[in-house]
Structure 1
């Protein structure tokens, strides 16, 4: 890639999110016409998810927010994802999101959820570029989780496959990086010990946020296929932002640059799988990664499980 192309990449990317002219991370629709289980559940239950109540008087589905498009419930929609011991995940406890920059209407909606804490996983530069607008009553907690020197990494991108490899390496760093492991340990500990509904986010709500969601769902006993399809929902929730972001790149930098960075706008199964394969290689299981890798004790994991399952 030319130095000009590298500078473009550096301006587009900060850690694992895409920052461009007010658009945060964007996702690309998957080519596979078969709907994953989580997406089918989302569409069947209604995408707005406002005020609906699932079986057994579950909490309402997470609201869809126009200005925070990747805001959703870790537990899924409807009755909640199936977890361990025949239980469903408990909705309205843990939310995930992209940058919390709501418009006035969405801010009012967020305040209606009575959030007790907002965890911002972004770097200093990301926060500087797009500071959170924290709902009233929520504590704002910074837990920066970095994934290497992005400018160095993007300088090596010469093909779309190079971009995919960069995303795979980021997920591997969630397993091998000391900073990353410390950050995830702190986040999970805070989630376990803080009462009330909580939300965590990065810039696009897909990489650091996606990894955290995988860990919580694994703790709750959600099966691998559902975890993966939930991870891929970023591409559905962020598809309008993806289209706008890509159109802007094409208009300002050209189609070839847009093609080069297409893999960075959303998620692909191989990104998360690269991290999971690293977990298997280094620790054998996610459970061992949580205890031996992150250093979480069983009491903390137990608190998370109790919150996640109903």
Structure 2
């Protein structure tokens, strides 16, 4: 059972200010800012071409968010069960809207796509609705070899845009309780892509950032984000001790997760900065640790 409990929103009653357990995504210009960050990171980067390609996907997501937003009647009725993520990716019936988003992405990406990418887009366009659902099931279950990294990128981009809009509209509030499984998103039960140390009202607090619905949930900084042990944590970086991106490794479960310090660099984005710092992954994995998260722009297979 998740240790973050979701309940319908109630009017605030005042009192002592406390840590907000859950931050639902605020989309607005979210994907535009991500595209801009990808572009910023291309300067002199060894992966400049791929970062620019990723920027194009984020820009297409922003266009779809503006021109074809989630209809009000899509998944409008959600059952809130005790201890269950309301948008659990393994339980929520997917609306065909997500496939329409995929078609929109294909349409917007094809004009500037390379021949290799166009071939993947053509394959997806020729895939039946039933086959797309089967591939989505495999992707959500982590059976990436059944999908392939090339197709997975576009499928996930559409699915994530769908889930993020659902999450942004949830009329829920959260409270922190004792419990386990804090390593999974309390909104959709997915794994985090990375963690962020916040600025602003949550300054200094660590939140895990969901790789699917892009919600963020609080987790103390003295525990492993994967196994919740605290005794064997180490931090790695390619820069000095005040680096904006570090990797938190755990000697108990032998995993690691990136930590982005949002106050140390302008305009950081979880997916973009994580992808642009793969050199750090290589060093930490050389030390024998396995990544506990997945970047949607970096599927295996």
Q: Is the structural similarity TM-score above 0.5?
A: no
Normalising to structure 1: TM-score of the pair? 0.29
Q: Choose between structure 1 and 2: higher helix proportion.
A: 1
Higher relative contact order (CA closer than 8 Å, sequence separation 6+):
1
Normalising to structure 2: TM-score of the pair? 0.30
